[in-house]
Structure 1
C-alpha cells in the first residue's frame, strides 16, 4: 500500500496529502483464463492440493507437480485444476485502486475464530463501521464485534475487535448511505482533494449515481474546482452511457425487446461519444426494421390468400392466419428468414410465399418449403402433435388415433416431427402464470409417487417463441421455496439477476416441512426431476442450459442430484453444500458436468470434508471451480451472483457423448445421456444411508462406447438396459451393431419410431435432445 502526496490523472484526484487513510493501491494482478472462457484476476499461486495451509498438500514425488491453480482476489480464493487453465498472464499492471483506511481500536486477538456455523444475529454497521454478530462457533454462541478497517472499490476488509477473525465482504453489499457516511469519516469533507478521491472511488466501484451526486456537492462547496469537476463529469457521462448500452445489449439477448426499444428512444445524447450513439442508433433502426417486417408479415398473411387460385388452399390459410400472426414476434422472426427474402419484391407467387411463411413457422427457415400443400400438411402435423401432448390420461386411446393420423399424412416422417418438436409452444397451460413474480405449480400424487410442488418466477417479457435457460434452486433448511427462487430472481418490486439475464427460476419442494438435512431419498430426487420435466413441458425451457443450485441443505441435495443425473444439467452450483453418501461414490460422474462450488473458509468442517472428493476431481482435470470466501462461514454468498451468471452464459450441456462411464447405486439413478439401466443387483442398491450396515456397498459402473464403425459396446450389470438413439448419436443409414456381455445383441439398420419419439418428449419435455427410437435389452 502506497500513499501519494500528489496524483496527476485525468480524473483530477490531486494532492492526497498527509492522510494515511486515503491511499492508492497498485492493481498488479495475474489474469487466469480457463478453457471454458471464465476469467479471474488476482494473485495466482500453483498448489499441490486444495487450501493455502495444511490443506494445500505436499508434493510426494521427486518432481514438482502442481495440480491446482489458486487465484486470490482478496475477498475469496478460486481453486481450479491446473489442466483447465487455457491462458495465464502474470502480473498485469492495471490502474490504481482508491482505498480508504478506517482506524479501529480495541482488537484483543485473545481468541481466534476457527469455525463458524449459522449467524444467529447480525446488527447493521454503525457510524464507525462496526457491527455485532452472534455466531455459533465450535458449538458455542459468541458475540463478535466486527469492524471495517479498509474500504476498496471491490471489497471491505473486516477485522474482529474482540476475537481474531479477519474476513471481507463485497463493497456493493454495504447500504449506500452507510458507505457514504464511512467515506466521509475516512476523509476531510472540507478538503476538495479528499472529496475528489471519493469520486474516484465511486467511479472504480461503478457506482456512477453516487459519483454524480458527489460531483454536484463538490461543485457547490468548491466553485473554484468547476473546471476539474467538468472534466470528470464528461468522463462520468461516457461511463454511464457505456454501462447503459451494455445493459441494453444484455436485456436484448435476454429477449426483453420492448424494454430495450423504448430505452433506445430515450437514450441520453448530451456529451455522449459518437461511437456509443452510433451503436444505439443502429439498435433503434434494427427494431424499427423489425416493426416494419411485422407489418409486412401481417399484410401478406391477410392479402396473399386472395391471390390463390385454389380456394381450398385459401380457406385453409385464412383459418390459420390468426395463429400465425399471434406467434409472430422478434423471437420467432428468424424462422421466417426465407419468407422475408421474397416478401418485399414479390419474386415468388402467392402460394410459394405463403408456404415459406407457414412451413418456416413450423420447422424453421432452414427447412421451409415452397410447396403450399406440403406446408399445410406440416401445420396439420404440428396441430396433431400438440393434441397428442395435451391428451389427458383418461383419454390415452386418443394418442394411438393421432399416431395413425400422422402416419397417413403424406410426406410427414420422423425427420419432420423431429424438426417440429423444438419449435412447439408449450402444450401444458398454466393459467396462474405471471411474469416477474413468484407463483406456484402443484402436481397431484401419482400412484406410488408423491406430489410435486414448485415455485416459479418467469423473466420479463416471457414469450413462448423463445427458449430460456433455467435455474433449479433448492432451498436451505428453514427457508421457503419462494425465498430460494427470489435469491436468484428477486421480487416483483425489485428484479434480481435472473430476471435481468432472462432466466426462468424454479424452486422444487424436495424436503419435508421442518427437515434440517437432505435425506438422499428417491422421493427427493423424484420431486426435483419431475419438477424439471413439468417445467420443460409447461414453459419454453432451453434444456441444454438448465442449472442446478442450492444453499446449505439444498447444496447437499445439489451435489447428490447433480451427480446422480449429470445429463440433465449444463452445470451445478452447490453453495455451502457437503459431499456425502452417494456423492462420495458418484464423483466421477462429473467428468462432463461443470461444477461451481462455493463455500466459506470457516464453514464448520465443510472445507476439509469436501476436499478429498474435490481434489480427486481437480487431479482428473474436471471442469470445476471451487470458491472459498476468506474468513467466512455458512452464508448465502450473494457477492458471487454476477460471476455465476458470467459462468453460466458459457455453459451448455453436452448431448452426443460417444464414450463415457457412470456410477449408480440407486434405481432412480439409472439414466445417463442416451443409455438407461434398470434392475440393479441387490448387492449394489442403497436406499437407506441411516443404516450403517448398508454403507459397505459399492457403486455399479455403467460403460458405453460408440466406435467409428457404428458399433455400440455396453458394460452393465443391470437386468434391463435401454439405448436411446437419434441421428446425432449413430448413423441411421448404416448397419448398427450393439454388443453387451460379449454378445451381439443387435445387428440391423435402426428405424425411427414416432411413438417412442413423442412419448419421450411428452415425458421429459426436452426440446433440444429428441430421440428417434429405443433399443431394449
Structure 2
C-alpha cells in the first residue's frame, strides 16, 4: 500500500484474509473460538455454542442430576444467539469445526431500559412498525387488559441475529431482550441503520460493516460497501483486490440461485438468468460453469426439436389412415407438452428411430408407449401402443366420473383392452397429468386458486387455497406444503408466510408471489379448516376430514409429489398439525408445528411420532409452551433420531419467518419414508384407522374416546395396531378390530410370488391363490385417495 501506513496494511490484510477464507473453505476469519459447527445425519449443519441436556425445559445454566445417580444428557443444544436448537445427540454425524469463528458484532447505542416492567410472557403480536433509521420501532402485542405498546431499539447487529431491547419510555418502560434474524431486516433498512451507527470517517468501523455483510453471505452489499470505502478512503487502494474478490463471491451466489431454480424445474427463468449472467470481472471458472449450463439447455432444445421433427416424419409415413390419425393426435399432444421435464420419456424413440431398422409403425409405437409409460417401458408393438393410448382415455374418464354405475362400465371396457394389465395401468397413472382441471374461474392471482371439495356425507364443503410455483408444469411432481391457519388469521396469510405476499400497487398483480416456496418450487395448500367463531382446535373428525379431503382433492388437480408432502400450522393450526401428523404418520414427509401445545390425544400417541420427522418452532416467551410440551419433546428427542425443536430467544407469539430458510433446507432433505418393516401405533378415535397398508374398522369401544368426553376414564388404554413384513412374502397384522383390511402394492409385496397375509394370527389368504392384483382396486384407490404415485393393487379383507 502506498505510503506504508502500518495500520492500513493491517486492516487490509485482515479483510483480505476474511474474503479468501470465505472462498477457500466457506469460513470467515475467526476472531475467537466460542462456537462449533456440527453436521447432522441428514446433512444439515448447525453453528453455535454447544451444550448437552437431559430435557428441553432444563435450565442450561443450572443443570440438575438425580440424587446419587449419573446424569444422562441425550439431547444436544446449539445456541447461535438467535435461537436454541435441540436435536438428539445420536443424530450428530460429525463435528466439522470445533473452533468456529466468532461473529462480527456491531453495537448500536440506544437508551435501553434497565429498569421497568419485566416481560415474562409476550402475547399475540398485533402490529409491528418498521425500523426507522436509528433502529427503533414500536411492537404492539395483546395483553391481559388490551394492547400493550413497547418501544424497541436495535442494540447489536451480527450476521445471524440482531438484538432488540426495550427502550426507556413514558409512561412505562419494558425490560425485554429479543433476537430477530438479521436476514429478516430489509436491505435498505439495515444499510440505513449501519450508516447511522458506523463512524463514516473511521476506516476500521466501515470495514466492520463489510465483514458483517461478508459473514452473512450478503456479497453484493459487502462489495457495494467496500467500493464506497475505496471512494471515501483513496489511500486504502490495496482493498480494490478484495472488492474484485467480492464480485466473484457475488457471481457464485447468483450461480447458486440459478442451480436452485433449475432443480425446481424453472427452466425458462434459468435460461434467462444464464443469458444475462454478469460477466464483468467474473472468474473464468465461474463463466465456464455458466457456459456449460447454457450448453446443456441448448442441447436439450436441440433434442426436443429432433424428437418433434422425427415424430412428424414417422406419422406422415404411416399408410393406414386410422393409425395415422391416432399418431397425429399423439404428435399434437407431445408437441404441446414436450419440455425439459418430459423429454426423458422419448429416449427410446430417439435411440431407435434413426435409420431403417424399424418401420414407421414400430417407431410410432415407441413414441406413443414411451410418452405414456416412460422410456423403460416403451414397446415397438403398435397394437399394444395404440391400446395403451385408448386405455389412458378410459382411465382418465374413470378418475373423473362421479357415478358408480358409469365407472363400472368403464372398468369393464378397460379390462377388455389389450395391454391393460394392472402393472401398465399403474405406470400410466404415474405419468399422467392430474385428472381433474383447475377451473379458470377459481384463479384469484397468478398461480393462486380458490377451491372447494366435499368433506363427507352431510358435512358440506371445505374451502382451500392453492398457490402454484413459477413455471408450474402438470407433468412434473412438486413438493407440497399443507398449512393450517391459527386463531385470528386467514388461509391467505398462510400463503403469504410460505409463498410471499402478493405485490401491492401493481396492476392485476401480474408478478405474483416471490417468497421461499416459489424460489424452491413448492406447491402451497392453505386449508380453511376452522368453523366460524372457533377459538381452539377440537381434535374432531370434521377437522381431520377437512385437511385430508383438501389434500386429496388437490392431488387430483395439481401435480403433487406425494412422497414430499409437509404438514404445518401456526398456533391452533400448529396444534392441529401435531395431532393430525400423529394420527396419519404414513402421509407426511415431515410435520412442522409452530406455536403448538400438546393436548389430549397428542399426549397418548407418542408411539406414532417415531415414523415421521418433526420440526417444532416456539418462542421463548410464549406463555411457557416449551415447558408445557417438554415431556413430549423429550420423549421424541430421546427415543428417535429425526427430531428438531427450535426456541427463538426473547420471542413470543408470532409467525417466526426467521426460521423459514432453515425449514426449506430441512424439507429439501426429506421424503416420506417407505412402509416400515414393522410398526406399532395406537388409536383412540374411530377415524384414526389407516396406517400404511393396514386399515381397521370397529375398534373396541373401551379404547375409543370422543374429544368432547376428554379426559378418558381411569383404566382406558389406546388400541394397539401392529403390522409386520415377514420373510417369504408374508404380511402380518394384529388389531383389536371388527374388520381389518390389508392393502397391497409392489412397495410392500412381490406379486410375482405367492402372497401370504395373516390377520390376528389367522391366515387370510388361500395357499393356492394368495392375493392377486386387481384393476378395480387400483383404479378406485387412485380415484379416492388421489395418490397416483403409490396406489394399492390389491386388498385382503378379514373377516
TM-score range normalised by the length of the shorter chain: over 0.9
Query: What is the RMSD computed on CA atoms of the aligned residues?
Result: 2.6
Superposed, 1:709-724 pairs within 5 Å as: 709-724=728-743
Whether the 8 Å contact between 1:50 and 1:57 is mirrored in structure 2 is: no
Task: String of CA shifts for 1:635-686, please: whole Å, max 9, x gaps.
Answer: 1110111111111011111233221011111122100111111112221222
Check if 1:729 corresponds to 2:740. Answer: no
Match of 2:786 in 1: 765
Q: Per the alignment, do residues 24 and 658 of structure 1 end up closer, same or farther by CA in structure 2, a change over 3 Å counting?
A: closer
- From 97, 107, 123, the equivalent of 1:117 is 123
**Paired residue secondary structure (2:765):** strand
**Paired residue secondary structure (2:629):** helix
Supply the distance in 2 between the matched residues of 1:757 and 1:306 (Cα, whole angstroms): 37
Whether the 8 Å contact between 2:47 and 2:78 is mirrored in structure 1 is: yes
Task: String of CA shifts for 1:558-603, please: whole Å, max 9, x gaps.
Answer: 1011111111110000011111111111122111100000001111
**Paired residue secondary structure (1:567):** coil
Q: Per the alignment, do residues 86 and 754 of structure 1 end up closer, same or farther by CA in structure 2, a change over 3 Å counting?
A: same
Q: Per the alignment, do residues 36 and 205 of structure 1 end up closer, same or farther by CA in structure 2, a change over 3 Å counting?
A: closer
Match of 1:19 in 2: none
Supply the distance in 1 between the matched residues of 2:227 and 2:356 (Cα, whole angstroms): 59
Q: Per the alignment, do residues 60 and 654 of structure 1 end up closer, same or farther by CA in structure 2, a change over 3 Å counting?
A: farther
Supply the distance in 2 between the matched residues of 1:291 and 1:239 (Cα, whole angstroms): 30
Match of 1:35 in 2: 41
Supply the distance in 1 between the matched residues of 2:255 and 2:453 (Cα, whole angstroms): 42
Match of 1:509 in 2: 528
Superposed, 1:248-263 pairs within 5 Å as: 248-263=258-273
- Structure 2 residue runs of 5 or longer lacking an equivalent are 1-6, 19-28, 168-172, 504-512
Q: Per the alignment, do residues 751 and 592 of structure 1 end up closer, same or farther by CA in structure 2, a change over 3 Å counting?
A: same
What's the offset of the Cα at 1:98? 2.9
More deviation, 99-108/549-558: 99-108
Match of 1:707 in 2: 726
Q: Per the alignment, do residues 755 and 56 of structure 1 end up closer, same or farther by CA in structure 2, a change over 3 Å counting?
A: farther
Match of 1:469 in 2: 479
Supply the distance in 1 between the matched residues of 2:64 and 2:42 (Cα, whole angstroms): 26
**Paired residue secondary structure (2:654):** coil
Q: Per the alignment, do residues 84 and 215 of structure 1 end up closer, same or farther by CA in structure 2, a change over 3 Å counting?
A: closer
Check if 1:231 corresponds to 2:252. Answer: no
Whether the 8 Å contact between 1:436 and 1:499 is mirrored in structure 2 is: no
What's the offset of the Cα at 1:310? 4.5
Match of 1:540 in 2: 559
Check if 1:267 corresponds to 2:258. Answer: no
Match of 2:349 in 1: 339
- From 202, 210, 233, the equivalent of 1:191 is 202
Supply the distance in 1 between the matched residues of 2:79 and 2:65 (Cα, whole angstroms): 20
Check if 1:601 corresponds to 2:609. Answer: no
Match of 1:292 in 2: 302
What's the offset of the Cα at 1:510? 0.8
More deviation, 341-350/258-267: 341-350
TM superposition score normalised by structure 1: 0.93
Check if 1:210 corresponds to 2:221. Answer: yes
Supply the distance in 2 between the matched residues of 1:252 and 1:127 (Cα, whole angstroms): 38
Match of 1:130 in 2: 136
More deviation, 186-195/598-607: 186-195
Check if 1:379 corresponds to 2:389. Answer: yes
What's the offset of the Cα at 1:139? 7.4
Match of 1:569 in 2: 588
More deviation, 657-666/744-753: 744-753
Supply the distance in 1 between the matched residues of 2:338 and 2:447 (Cα, whole angstroms): 25
What's the offset of the Cα at 1:329? 1.3
Supply the distance in 1 between the matched residues of 2:299 and 2:706 (Cα, whole angstroms): 59
**Paired residue secondary structure (1:425):** coil
Q: Per the alignment, do residues 694 and 264 of structure 1 end up closer, same or farther by CA in structure 2, a change over 3 Å counting?
A: same
Supply the distance in 2 between the matched residues of 1:628 and 1:695 (Cα, whole angstroms): 35
Whether the 8 Å contact between 1:736 and 1:747 is mirrored in structure 2 is: no
Supply the distance in 1 between the matched residues of 2:142 and 2:401 (Cα, whole angstroms): 54
Q: Per the alignment, do residues 93 and 742 of structure 1 end up closer, same or farther by CA in structure 2, a change over 3 Å counting?
A: closer
What's the offset of the Cα at 1:126? 3.8
What's the offset of the Cα at 1:370? 1.9
Whether the 8 Å contact between 1:436 and 1:492 is mirrored in structure 2 is: no
Supply the distance in 2 between the matched residues of 1:659 and 1:425 (Cα, whole angstroms): 34
Q: Per the alignment, do residues 112 and 140 of structure 1 end up closer, same or farther by CA in structure 2, a change over 3 Å counting?
A: farther
- From 72, 87, 91, the equivalent of 1:84 is 91
Q: Per the alignment, do residues 559 and 157 of structure 1 end up closer, same or farther by CA in structure 2, a change over 3 Å counting?
A: same
What's the offset of the Cα at 1:605? 2.1
Supply the distance in 2 between the matched residues of 1:13 and 1:83 (Cα, whole angstroms): 36
Superposed, 1:337-486 pairs within 5 Å as: 337-344=347-354, 348-393=358-403, 396-432=404-440, 436-444=446-454, 446-486=456-496
Supply the distance in 1 between the matched residues of 2:100 and 2:597 (Cα, whole angstroms): 38
Supply the distance in 2 between the matched residues of 1:685 and 1:512 (Cα, whole angstroms): 24
Q: Per the alignment, do residues 348 and 535 of structure 1 end up closer, same or farther by CA in structure 2, a change over 3 Å counting?
A: same
**Paired residue secondary structure (2:46):** strand
Whether the 8 Å contact between 1:24 and 1:98 is mirrored in structure 2 is: no
- Structure 1 residue runs of 5 or longer lacking an equivalent are 15-22
Q: Per the alignment, do residues 451 and 78 of structure 1 end up closer, same or farther by CA in structure 2, a change over 3 Å counting?
A: same
What's the offset of the Cα at 1:498? 0.4
Match of 2:250 in 1: 240
**Paired residue secondary structure (2:481):** strand
Task: String of CA shifts for 1:109-155, please: whole Å, max 9, x gaps.
Answer: 45432222213443433443333434456778654443322111111
- From 728, 732, 741, the equivalent of 2:760 is 741
**Paired residue secondary structure (1:167):** strand
Check if 1:631 corresponds to 2:650. Answer: yes
Q: Per the alignment, do residues 410 and 126 of structure 1 end up closer, same or farther by CA in structure 2, a change over 3 Å counting?
A: closer
**Paired residue secondary structure (1:11):** helix
Whether the 8 Å contact between 2:112 and 2:166 is mirrored in structure 1 is: no
Supply the distance in 1 between the matched residues of 2:225 and 2:69 (Cα, whole angstroms): 59
More deviation, 693-702/279-288: 693-702
Check if 1:70 corresponds to 2:81. Answer: no
Supply the distance in 1 between the matched residues of 2:623 and 2:188 (Cα, whole angstroms): 33
Q: Per the alignment, do residues 272 and 342 of structure 1 end up closer, same or farther by CA in structure 2, a change over 3 Å counting?
A: farther
More deviation, 509-518/664-673: 509-518
Whether the 8 Å contact between 2:495 and 2:501 is mirrored in structure 1 is: no
Supply the distance in 1 between the matched residues of 2:793 and 2:377 (Cα, whole angstroms): 19
Q: Per the alignment, do residues 733 and 121 of structure 1 end up closer, same or farther by CA in structure 2, a change over 3 Å counting?
A: closer
Whether the 8 Å contact between 1:689 and 1:695 is mirrored in structure 2 is: no
Supply the distance in 1 between the matched residues of 2:660 and 2:97 (Cα, whole angstroms): 26
Superposed, 1:649-668 pairs within 5 Å as: 649-668=668-687
Match of 2:155 in 1: 149
Supply the distance in 2 between the matched residues of 1:348 and 1:663 (Cα, whole angstroms): 58
More deviation, 416-425/433-442: 433-442
Q: Per the alignment, do residues 79 and 689 of structure 1 end up closer, same or farther by CA in structure 2, a change over 3 Å counting?
A: farther
Whether the 8 Å contact between 2:12 and 2:238 is mirrored in structure 1 is: no
Check if 1:592 corresponds to 2:600. Answer: no
Match of 2:601 in 1: 582
Q: Per the alignment, do residues 576 and 768 of structure 1 end up closer, same or farther by CA in structure 2, a change over 3 Å counting?
A: same
